[in-house]
Chains A and B, each alone.
Chain A
C-alpha cells in the first residue's frame, strides 16, 4: 500500500540511561524502529520495559539530568532531531508530533479552560488569530465527538468525565495537524466501554486525517484491534517486531509467546490453569550483556546467558532478538 522505503520517523540504536545514586539505570538499550506515513505502530511491554522512556527520548521530554541520551539517531521527516536546538524541538512538539498521555486529569491544566488549552498550540504553532483559533478549536472538539462543542470551550477540565477529557487531549494533540501522533497508554485509565468509544474515534480519525500513530500499551487486545505493526519491548529492548497478524499468528520470541498464552480467552472453553511466566522482570542497573529474558525463559540455553541476541530477520517485516528458533524448537544457526 505504501512505498516500503518511505518512512516519516526513523530511530536507530537509541540508548537512554538515568543516573541515580546507585549508578546508572539502563532504561532504553539500542532501540531501533521506523514509522511509515499513515500507519499505526503498537509498542507493547510491561511497566518498566522502557516503552514510554523511548518515546519521551524522541522529543527530549525527559528531565536531563538525570536522563541522558547516550547514543542513537532520530530522523524525523528528513531532519535530525537528536541534535536539534531547543527552539526547533519546541516547534516540533505539539506541532508536527502530537502527544497524548495516559492520564487525562494530570496532563490537562486544571486552572485553564479547555478552550484556552486547545487554542494555545494553534496560536503558537500555526500563528492563527484569536478568532480563527477559536473557530478551529470548536471544530476540533466537534471532530473528537464532544457534543455542543463551541459552548464547552469555556469549561474547565474537571467539568468533563474521564472519557471526555481524553477526547479533549486528543483534540489538543491533533490541533496542528501533526504528521505523527504518539499516544502513551491513552485508554489505560478508562473503563472498557469508554475505551471502546475512544478506539472507534481513533480509527475514524485515522481515516479522516491520515496521520501516523505510535500507540504504547500493555494490552495486547487493544493492539490486536488497531495496530498495523507491533514492537514488543522487554527490559529496554525491542525483542520482537512484526506485522500485527504475523505477530499473533506466528510469534517467535519466547516472551511474546508466553504473553499471548497468559491471556485468558473470552470466547474459548475455560482453561484449567492460566499459563504464567515465572519470576520477575529484571533490574536494569547494568548494561545488558546476556539475554535479559533468559532467567524466565523456558527455552534458554547456554548461549543465552553469555551473549545478548541481536535482532535477526525471520521474514521481511518480522524480526526477533532470540537465539532460540521457534520453528525448529532448537538453537538458531545464526
Chain B
C-alpha cells in the first residue's frame, strides 16, 4: 500500500544551526544545532507524526519545512520544487500550498482583528476576490471548522481555547493548501476539548485530502492520528516507521524508553509495567555528545556509541532507525 503513494514533501539532509553571539564585538562563539541532518518523506494524504521531548528540535523542523527559517543546509521538496532555495517572489507564490497551525491560539491570533478578517487575511494576500466573494468564502470556512457564521465580527478574546484553535484552522485552510504543519495544535487545550479538535482535523483531512505533519509530545494522541511516526532526539531522527510498528515493536532504545514512560490510564496494570527509566537529562544542543547523541542516557550504550555516529538505515519495510545495535 505504501509504495503506491508518492511523497508530497521530501526533506533531505536538513540542517538548522542557530549561531550564538557573545561579547561586545558580537563574535560568533558557537552554534545551537537545533536540527542536524535529518531526512524524511511525507506521503500524499497521510499524517506523519513527529514526536520528541522539548528542545529536541521538532518545532524547528516544522518551521524549516515551511521555510519560516533560512535553513543551514539540505533540501525541502514540496511537489516538484525545492523550496529551500527559492527566492522571495517564487516562495510567495508557493505559500498557498503549505500552511501552519500553531500551538497557542491565544498568541497566534491578532487580538485587534475580528475573526472574519483573521480568516480572510490570507485571501487578501494571495487571491483577487471581491468583498462579497470573500465574505462567502469566510462563511464556508467557518462552517467547515464548526464555528457559527455570526461570530465573524467578534474578536479572538471572546472565544474559548478550543474555538480559537478552530479559527486558526480556518485560517490555515483559507487558501486550499495541500500540506499543513500542525505544531502541537492541542497542547494548550483541555482533555475534553482536545478530542474535539483532533476529530475536526481528521474530518478535514478526509474531506479535503490534506497531508499533515503533526508535531506533538503527546504520544497517545499521535498514535491515534498518525499513519507513520518519526521520533526525534537532540536534532536528529532516531526512528521512523509505520505507526503500528513504532508503537508495537519499537527498535531504538530511545523510542522504547519514551513509550514506556507514558503513564497508563489503567490502575490495575500500574504495578506490572516494564518501565525503562532514563537517567539524567537531554544534553545541550550547542554541545552535543560525540558519536550517538543518545549515548549519554542509553541503557545499552557501548564504547562504539561514544565514538561513531550511527548510520540512518532501513531496518524493515519502511522502518528506519539510527542505532549500532539494531539487527
Across-interface contacts of A267 in B (CB, < 8 A)? 247, 264
- Asked if A225 lies at the interface with its beta carbon under 8 angstroms from chain B, I say yes
A274 touches B192 (CB 8 A): no
Inter-chain CA distance A221–B223, complex, in Å, is 16
- Chain A 232-266, CB-CB to B under 8 Å as 1, else 0, gives 00000000000011001100000000111011111
Chain B interface main SS type: helix
A266 touches B162 (CB 8 A): no
A274 touches B267 (CB 8 A): no
Inter-chain CA distance A225–B199, complex, in Å, is 28
How many B residues have CB within 8 A of the partner chain?
A: 41
- Asked if B274 lies at the interface with its beta carbon under 8 angstroms from chain A, I say no
Across-interface contacts of A162 in B (CB, < 8 A)? 281
- Asked if A275 lies at the interface with its beta carbon under 8 angstroms from chain B, I say yes
Residue of A47, A193, A227, A271 with highest tally of chain B CB at under 10 A: A193
- Asked if B140 lies at the interface with its beta carbon under 8 angstroms from chain A, I say no
| Residues 189-238 of A at the B interface (beta carbon under 8 Å) | 191-197, 199-200, 218-227
- Asked if B20 lies at the interface with its beta carbon under 8 angstroms from chain A, I say no
| Residues 255-273 of B at the A interface (beta carbon under 8 Å) | 257-268, 270
- Asked if A333 lies at the interface with its beta carbon under 8 angstroms from chain B, I say no
Among A227, A249, A266, A281, the residue within 8 A (CB) of B268 is A249
Among A163, A222, A223, A245, the residue within 8 A (CB) of B281 is A163
A221 touches B263 (CB 8 A): yes
Residue of A nearest to B160 (CB): A280
Asked if A224 meets B277 with Cβ closer than 8 Å, knowing A191-B54, A191-B217, A218-B191, the reply is no
Inter-chain CA distance A219–B194, complex, in Å, is 13
Across-interface contacts of B268 in A (CB, < 8 A)? 245, 248-249
- Chain B 224-259, CB-CB to A under 8 Å as 1, else 0, gives 100000000000000000010001000000000111
Among A164, A244, A271, A280, the residue within 8 A (CB) of B224 is A271
- Asked if A21 lies at the interface with its beta carbon under 8 angstroms from chain B, I say no
Asked if A264 meets B224 with Cβ closer than 8 Å, knowing A224-B265, A274-B199, the reply is yes
- Asked if A131 lies at the interface with its beta carbon under 8 angstroms from chain B, I say no
Inter-chain CA distance A194–B53, complex, in Å, is 10
A192 touches B54 (CB 8 A): no
Across-interface contacts of A281 in B (CB, < 8 A)? 190, 192
Inter-chain CA distance A222–B220, complex, in Å, is 14
- Chain A 8-36, CB-CB to B under 8 Å as 1, else 0, gives 00000000000000000000000000000
| Residues 259-296 of A at the B interface (beta carbon under 8 Å) | 259-260, 262-267, 270-271, 273-278, 280-281
- Asked if A46 lies at the interface with its beta carbon under 8 angstroms from chain B, I say yes
A264 touches B221 (CB 8 A): yes
A262 touches B195 (CB 8 A): yes
Across-interface contacts of B220 in A (CB, < 8 A)? 263-266
Among A197, A220, A225, A277, the residue within 8 A (CB) of B270 is A225
A193 touches B261 (CB 8 A): yes
Among B217, B243, B265, the residue within 8 A (CB) of A248 is B265
Residue of A nearest to B284 (CB): A161
| Residues 49-69 of B at the A interface (beta carbon under 8 Å) | 53-54
B162 touches A192 (CB 8 A): no
B265 touches A221 (CB 8 A): yes
Asked if A46 meets B261 with Cβ closer than 8 Å, knowing A193-B278, A224-B266, the reply is no
Across-interface contacts of A193 in B (CB, < 8 A)? 53, 257-258, 261, 277-278
- Chain A 73-103, CB-CB to B under 8 Å as 1, else 0, gives 0000000000000000000000000000000
Across-interface contacts of A219 in B (CB, < 8 A)? 263
Residue of A nearest to B275 (CB): A196
Inter-chain CA distance A275–B268, complex, in Å, is 23
- Asked if B308 lies at the interface with its beta carbon under 8 angstroms from chain A, I say no
A221 touches B262 (CB 8 A): yes
A46 touches B281 (CB 8 A): no
Among A191, A197, A224, A278, the residue within 8 A (CB) of B264 is A224
B191 touches A192 (CB 8 A): no
- Asked if B202 lies at the interface with its beta carbon under 8 angstroms from chain A, I say yes
A262 touches B264 (CB 8 A): no
Residue of B nearest to A218 (CB): B191
Across-interface contacts of A249 in B (CB, < 8 A)? 268
Inter-chain CA distance A192–B277, complex, in Å, is 10
A220 touches B160 (CB 8 A): no
B279 CB to closest chain A CB (Å) equals: 8
Inter-chain CA distance A273–B202, complex, in Å, is 9
B267 touches A225 (CB 8 A): yes
B259 CB to closest chain A CB (Å) equals: 7
Residue of B nearest to A270 (CB): B224
Across-interface contacts of A196 in B (CB, < 8 A)? 260-261, 263, 275, 277-278
- Asked if B81 lies at the interface with its beta carbon under 8 angstroms from chain A, I say no
A259 touches B261 (CB 8 A): no
B246 CB to closest chain A CB (Å) equals: 11
Asked if A248 meets B262 with Cβ closer than 8 Å, knowing A218-B191, A280-B162, the reply is no
B183 CB to closest chain A CB (Å) equals: 17
Among B194, B219, B281, the residue within 8 A (CB) of A194 is B281
Across-interface contacts of A227 in B (CB, < 8 A)? 267
Inter-chain CA distance A249–B193, complex, in Å, is 23
Asked if A197 meets B190 with Cβ closer than 8 Å, knowing A244-B267, A270-B223, A273-B202, the reply is no
Q: Top 10 nearest A-B pairs by Cβ distance?
A: A221-B263, A276-B195, A196-B261, A191-B53, A264-B224, A277-B192, A46-B190, A274-B195, A192-B261, A224-B267
Q: Could you list 14 further interchain pairs (A-B, Cβ under 8 angstroms) beyond the known A248-B265, A278-B196, A280-B193?
A: A191-B53, A191-B217, A194-B281, A197-B278, A218-B191, A224-B264, A226-B270, A248-B266, A249-B268, A259-B192, A266-B220, A270-B223, A280-B162, A281-B190
16 CB contacts below 8 A, A to B, read A47-B190, A161-B281, A195-B261, A196-B260, A196-B278, A218-B191, A220-B191, A224-B270, A225-B263, A225-B267, A245-B267, A264-B221, A266-B220, A275-B195, A277-B196, A280-B163
